[in-house]
A and B are shown apart, each in its own frame.
Chain A
Amino acid sequence: MTSFQSTLGEEEGIAEELAASQREISIAEFFEKNKHMLGFDSGARGLVTAVKEAVDNALDATEEAGILPDIYVEIKEGRDYYTLVVEDNGPGITKEQIPKIFGKLLYGSRFHAREQSRGQQGIGISAAVLYSQLTSGKPVRIESRTQDSGVSNYYELIIDTDTNEPEISVEEELSAAESDLRGTHGTRIEMDLEANMRARGQLHDYVKHTAVVNPHARIELQEPKGEIKAERAEGAGLPEETEEIRPHPHGVELGTLIKMLGDTDSHSVSGFLQSEFTRVGKKTADGIVDAFRDRHYGRELRWRPPGIDAETDLEAAVVDAVSNKGADDTAAFAERVVDAVEDAERVAYSEVEAIVADAATESEESSGTTFGDTVQEHVVDAVWAALTEDRAADIFLAVDAATTVQKDDATVRGLAERIADKFGSDTPRDRVTRAKLAEFVYRAAEMTEEVEDATVGDTARENVVEELWTDMATVPDDLPKTKDVAGDRDTASELLDAMASVDVMAPPTSCLSPIKDDLVEAGLRKEFDAEFYSAATRDAEVHGGDPFIVEAGIAYGGELEDQGGVDLMRFANRVPLVYQRGACATTNVVKDIGWRNYNLDQPGGSGLPQGPAVIMVHVASTNVPFTSESKDAVASVEEIEDEIELAVREAARDLKSFLNKRQSMRKRQQKQNVIMDILPTMAEKVSDMTGNEALDVEDSLARIMNNVLVEREIDDGEVTLRVENHGNTAADVDVTDIVTAEPADASDGNVVEMDGEWFVKWSPSVSGGDTAELTYSVPDDAEFDLSVQGVEDARLTVN
């Protein structure tokens, strides 16, 4: 698991930790010291970050209110400062909300949520406000109007850097006439900040990319030297609402687990697991609890009772262990014990205890004789002594079963004896953890190799451990309560280990809101004037207990410029990643794909492909792993990289077939051009030579090009449109003849009159090699205008 994870969306984010440890210094100083982490390290970048935070904020505010976002961003160049205006058409904010939104630097309702969201740190807009105030000294101006309100509220505020609270310096009501708001409701934030426009490219990218990935939003940017107006994609609705989910057992870390254990109301570990984690029911909890028990207590080895031919008489031993009871009752008790032990074939210490206790209960019920605790203890000891008389024989069976037949008997026996020797007074109840058992087996194997000059490889050792462990008994001891687990780091670690060892169903994906392939495509379509678009949305996958979905889209050709490498757009939770492209897993995955297979140029066979194309990759997750706090690059996590690759390849497959088809159409067109040039000349020449009348080459041409040929024949007012398909596959064509006189007797066609012209329309399906005849009759002086659709132009010949 990656270490940075605990810094995001978890309890102990770096920023919070830092802030906590720096309480004695002012918030301003904290910001100043850490602004590089928050994306405010330079004036150029500070402006982009401020826009980014404000726009994310605005998108969230409108979406939460169920309003399709309409975001307006304006950057004005003042004498000393730049002024940034960001306006949304959200529900507006009330005065009470102001301290919450603009106050505490680290305020954020989503900070702990396991739900896909834009900002995961809650550091957003307040950092921008603070940056503005620290660089310009001016208050932030906020105007807000709630829905159906005739007036809007106007505030000017600064953040008190000592108390970290907003301080409202001006508060007034504005009438509609005085309002700067563009819409009937919404919020407008205006701030001055020290900045420059050196990062204009990134700013434009950010806005344009945001528009791609939020096809449901209208976004407009006005800045001194340019503007972007991104319209809403037709039919794009609000993203699906996400649901917050509980953590997944595979997605927590030790610190989090200990904290959860301390906070829970459940006493039992099982109850805790079921109530605090997603996808954990009774069965999964039992599995985890057993695994936890194994790790906490270990398991007990089981031994075979002595056989019939053994010297030890188990029954006699039991009888001997019992004193001061009636002989008959003792005998009956002993028989019960021995029968149960022998029925079990192999028994562990705790199982012997249970058998003896059961026998005692039964005997008491039938004869009234009590076999008390002390007696039971003696009996258990007696039985146990008999069982453990020859451990090596039992272990031999397991070792023999676990090793290959090639191992000679002496080696197996030696190994078994050495393992057996490890058990005894040092291992009360013959109870060991798997780790301890493995240690025994490995030590015994080393020794055996040394003494017997044989080889016991790692596989053989593992097999022996597995064989023995599988047959060991889970102990019945009660597990520690949650409070105790919380208080002991080692025990908690055992629990975490147990949670990781059990298969748990992947977390639900209701916490994710992917854009979906059709809207990814729509987003690309509206922002890029290309020739081809494709998009792919993968199914949800899990990384470290956090579900994630990867989507990819490609736009190619058209007005896109070929500037060498393609334009790669990266997104995390619908937020464009503008900086640190080279450090991003997305970039690396795209570079490692063999793009030549998809008909794109890729010099050297690796690196970004070349050509007039845009590739977008969106990673949506409850917890996108970033390489750093400024969230500019997705960290290299194998599961996520795999999905990125699959998504991109899926989209690229469509690109490939498009490019293939285009290439073949191009070739076809070239061929047709050459042949169109050659055939008539050739025909003319042969007509000349043979002295025959001139030839028409269209039929031959159509046949050569496997074309669909549509020919008109008019014979005494009878019009025949012959649709000849010279290809191999069926052609479904729409043939429309626009006639200047009223047609009659149209075969199977529709006739519609419009403004003195008649549209005769057929939709025949003509299979390869076939011909369809469409007929009608018209007066002699009619004029025609034929259009044919449903066949690529290059494949169509209309006469």
Chain B
Amino acid sequence: MSDANTPDTPKGDDARDQLVELAEQFYDQFERGDVPKMSLPTRSKSNIEYDEDSDVWVYGDRTSTRSANSVRGARKLLKSVYTIDFLAQQLDEDRSSTLRELYYLSESWDEEEAQFNDQSESDKLVEDLEIVSGVKREDFHMRPEESGAKVMGPLRIREQTNRGDREIHCQDDVGQGGYQIPNNPDTIEFMDCDADFVMCVETGGMRDRLVENGFDDEYDCLVVHLGGQPARATRRLIKRLHDELGLPITVFTDGDPWSYRIFGSVSYGSIKSAHLSKYLATPEAQFVGIRPQDIVDYDLPTDPLGDSDVNALESELEDPRFQSDFWKEQIELQLDIDKKAEQQALASRGLDFVTDTYLPERLDEMGVL
């Protein structure tokens, strides 16, 4: 089920060994009388670089060291050690838990200094551990709280569940809501597929419009709901649909800077999880719209750009992931017209405009249809 493009990461016992190895590093540092420390790639925009082999953006060479030299660093390391211990135990017992549960669980730790202040702290720490151990969060048996997104379209899959394997057809066997992507999409096996391409849609409203209008049926399309910034499971599934089934991936979002970032994370990988870009990002994904050019061409109803929109656009102009001519042109145009538009703005030309005119024309133009 794994594809050649996807690098292997340790799983099961290997994952546990990686954690123990981290603990051993700390042990050795103590034993030598050194200041315990942990090195991580710097997780910022300035430290991601393009990996030519895999066409995705990954962390560069810059690292930050977290050491017990400062109170802050010492606390972080203590929390790391507690978390490592917890994860190793979880793997031993073959249990799983959610990120939120980890946060609450820390409250039960005897050492107060090891407890997390908020969930973002524990989430980030788990990501840190992914990076230093090379083990994916899913293989620590850590799940995100929110459920993955939904898929609708001509695809039959087999999913391993706690209650045995289930075979599901993502049109025939599901309701109007579609098939729910599990937290670890690597438990899915693709059976057969009649789809010609994948359409990832940012908003629930637009997804429902496409489904209601029968777009998936008419064009043999897999409609994947991103639901804002897509969860890892969603991105992983998209990558697998592309890599394993050879489906073209298209992304349809609002026409504002935040939506471009959604496309960016599907296509190039996110800054936060650049260590997993090779596993999550689909560089071949194509951007459908809404493009600033569409705002002009279709004279869409718009909102003016706010200050934060302008800042975000300007920051994207400097973002290494948006350095193509296409993006520079579109972003500069948007700054120029000072407007943004939602996907639903297409409804100003009728409810069917998007499925009858906009998407077919655009997909044709892009060579997908």
Q: Is B224 an interface position by the 8 A CB rule? A: no
Choose one: B26, B74, B88; the contact of A678 (CB below 8 Å). Answer: B74
**Total contacting residues, chain B, CB less than 8 A:** 28
**Total contacting residues, chain A, CB less than 8 A:** 24
A-binding segment of B39-47, B79-87, B136-144, B190-198 = B79-87
Q: Are B26 and A686 in contact (CB under 8 A)?
A: yes
Q: Are A682 and B69 in contact (CB under 8 A)?
A: no
Choose one: B31, B34, B78; the contact of A703 (CB below 8 Å). Answer: B34
Q: How far is the CA of A692 from the CA of B27 in the complex (A)?
A: 8
- Please give the distance in Å from A664's CB to the nearest CB on chain B: 14
Q: Is B255 an interface position by the 8 A CB rule? A: no
Q: Is A401 an interface position by the 8 A CB rule? A: no
Q: Is B71 an interface position by the 8 A CB rule? A: yes
Choose one: B34, B35, B84, B113; the contact of A689 (CB below 8 Å). Answer: B84
Q: Is A704 an interface position by the 8 A CB rule? A: yes
Choose one: B31, B68, B70, B88; the contact of A679 (CB below 8 Å). Answer: B68
Chain B residues with CB below 8 A from A697, complex form:
30
- Name the CB-closest residue of B to A709: B33
Q: Are A681 and B111 in contact (CB under 8 A)?
A: yes
- Per-position 1/0 for B23-63, Cβ under 8 A of A: 11011011101111000000000000000000000000000
Q: Is B114 an interface position by the 8 A CB rule? A: yes
- Per-position 1/0 for B78-107, Cβ under 8 A of A: 100110110010000000000000000000
Q: Are B113 and A674 in contact (CB under 8 A)?
A: yes
Q: Is A700 an interface position by the 8 A CB rule? A: yes
Q: Is A323 an interface position by the 8 A CB rule? A: no
- Per-position 1/0 for B184-222, Cβ under 8 A of A: 000000000000000000000000000000000000000
Q: Are A674 and B30 in contact (CB under 8 A)?
A: no
- Name the CB-closest residue of B to A698: B33
Q: Is A653 an interface position by the 8 A CB rule? A: no
Q: Are B78 and A678 in contact (CB under 8 A)?
A: yes
Chain B residues with CB below 8 A from A700, complex form:
29-30, 33-36, 68
Choose one: A683, A685, A704; the contact of B35 (CB below 8 Å). Answer: A704
Q: How far is the CA of A61 from the CA of B23 in the complex (A)?
A: 81
- Per-position 1/0 for B1-33, Cβ under 8 A of A: 000000000000000000010011011011101
Q: A674-B71, A695-B30 are in contact. Are A686 and B23 (CB under 8 A)?
A: yes
- Please give the distance in Å from B167's CB to the nearest CB on chain A: 41
Q: How far is the CA of A677 from the CA of B113 in the complex (A)?
A: 8
Q: Is B158 an interface position by the 8 A CB rule? A: no
Q: Is B156 an interface position by the 8 A CB rule? A: no
Q: How far is the CA of A690 from the CA of B69 in the complex (A)?
A: 23
Chain B residues with CB below 8 A from A685, complex form:
23, 81-82, 85
Q: Is B77 an interface position by the 8 A CB rule? A: yes
Chain B residues with CB below 8 A from A683, complex form:
27, 30
Q: Is A241 an interface position by the 8 A CB rule? A: no
Q: Are B71 and A682 in contact (CB under 8 A)?
A: no
- Per-position 1/0 for A433-475, Cβ under 8 A of B: 0000000000000000000000000000000000000000000
Q: How far is the CA of A683 from the CA of B71 in the complex (A)?
A: 16
Q: Is B75 an interface position by the 8 A CB rule? A: yes
Q: Is A799 an interface position by the 8 A CB rule? A: no
- Please give the distance in Å from A122's CB to the nearest CB on chain B: 66
- Name the CB-closest residue of A to B84: A689
Choose one: B27, B34, B82; the contact of A690 (CB below 8 Å). Answer: B27
- Name the CB-closest residue of B to A696: B30
Within 8 A of B (CB), among A648-681: 670-671, 674-675, 677-679, 681
Interface centre among A689, A692, A697, A703 (most CB of B within 10 A): A689
- Please give the distance in Å from B360's CB to the nearest CB on chain A: 58
Q: Are A682 and B36 in contact (CB under 8 A)?
A: yes
- Please give the distance in Å from A772's CB to the nearest CB on chain B: 17
Q: Is A687 an interface position by the 8 A CB rule? A: yes
Q: A679-B74, A700-B68 are in contact. Are A695 and B27 (CB under 8 A)?
A: yes
Chain B residues with CB below 8 A from A679, complex form:
36, 68, 74
Chain B residues with CB below 8 A from A678, complex form:
68, 74-75, 77-78, 113
- Please give the distance in Å from B154's CB to the nearest CB on chain A: 49
Q: Are A675 and B81 in contact (CB under 8 A)?
A: no
Q: Are A681 and B113 in contact (CB under 8 A)?
A: yes
Q: Is A484 an interface position by the 8 A CB rule? A: no
Q: How far is the CA of A677 from the CA of B78 in the complex (A)?
A: 10
Q: How far is the CA of A704 from the CA of B35 in the complex (A)?
A: 6
Q: Are B68 and A704 in contact (CB under 8 A)?
A: yes
Q: How far is the CA of A681 from the CA of B77 in the complex (A)?
A: 11
Choose one: A675, A690, A699, A703; the contact of B23 (CB below 8 Å). Answer: A690
Chain B residues with CB below 8 A from A690, complex form:
20, 23-24, 27
Q: How far is the CA of A700 from the CA of B71 in the complex (A)?
A: 14
Q: Is A503 an interface position by the 8 A CB rule? A: no
Q: Are A689 and B20 in contact (CB under 8 A)?
A: yes
Within 8 A of B (CB), among A699-723: 699-700, 703-704
Q: How far is the CA of A683 from the CA of B35 in the complex (A)?
A: 12
- Please give the distance in Å from A470's CB to the nearest CB on chain B: 68
Chain B residues with CB below 8 A from A674, complex form:
71, 74-75, 113
Q: Are B69 and A704 in contact (CB under 8 A)?
A: yes
Q: Is A783 an interface position by the 8 A CB rule? A: no
Q: Is A234 an interface position by the 8 A CB rule? A: no
Q: Are B23 and A689 in contact (CB under 8 A)?
A: yes
Chain A residues with CB below 8 A from B34, complex form:
700, 703
Chain A residues with CB below 8 A from B78, complex form:
678, 681-682
Q: A700-B34, A703-B35 are in contact. Are A675 and B74 (CB under 8 A)?
A: yes
Q: How far is the CA of A670 from the CA of B72 in the complex (A)?
A: 12
Q: How far is the CA of A349 from the CA of B122 in the complex (A)?
A: 102
- Name the CB-closest residue of B to A724: B33
Q: Are B68 and A675 in contact (CB under 8 A)?
A: yes
- Per-position 1/0 for B234-258, Cβ under 8 A of A: 0000000000000000000000000
Chain B residues with CB below 8 A from A11, complex form:
none
- Name the CB-closest residue of A to B70: A671
- Please give the distance in Å from B265's CB to the nearest CB on chain A: 34
Q: Are A689 and B30 in contact (CB under 8 A)?
A: no
Q: How far is the CA of A689 from the CA of B87 in the complex (A)?
A: 11
Q: How far is the CA of A678 from the CA of B30 in the complex (A)?
A: 13
Q: How far is the CA of A699 from the CA of B29 in the complex (A)?
A: 10
Chain B residues with CB below 8 A from A681, complex form:
78, 111, 113-114
- Please give the distance in Å from A708's CB to the nearest CB on chain B: 14
- Please give the distance in Å from B129's CB to the nearest CB on chain A: 14
Q: Is A688 an interface position by the 8 A CB rule? A: yes
- Per-position 1/0 for B103-147, Cβ under 8 A of A: 000000001011000000000000000000000000000000000
Chain A residues with CB below 8 A from B69, complex form:
704
Q: Are B71 and A686 in contact (CB under 8 A)?
A: no
Q: How far is the CA of A697 from the CA of B78 in the complex (A)?
A: 14
Chain A residues with CB below 8 A from B26, complex form:
682, 686
- Residues on A lying within 8 angstroms of B by beta carbon are 670-671, 674-675, 677-679, 681-683, 685-690, 692, 695-697, 699-700, 703-704
Given contacts A675-B74, A695-B31, 13 further A-B contacts (CB under 8 A): A670-B71, A674-B113, A675-B68, A677-B113, A678-B68, A682-B68, A682-B78, A683-B27, A686-B24, A695-B30, A699-B33, A700-B36, A704-B74
3 nearest A-B pairs in the assembled complex, by CB-CB distance: A699-B33, A689-B23, A686-B27
Q: 5 A-B Cβ contacts within 8 A?
A: A671-B71, A681-B114, A682-B74, A689-B84, A700-B30
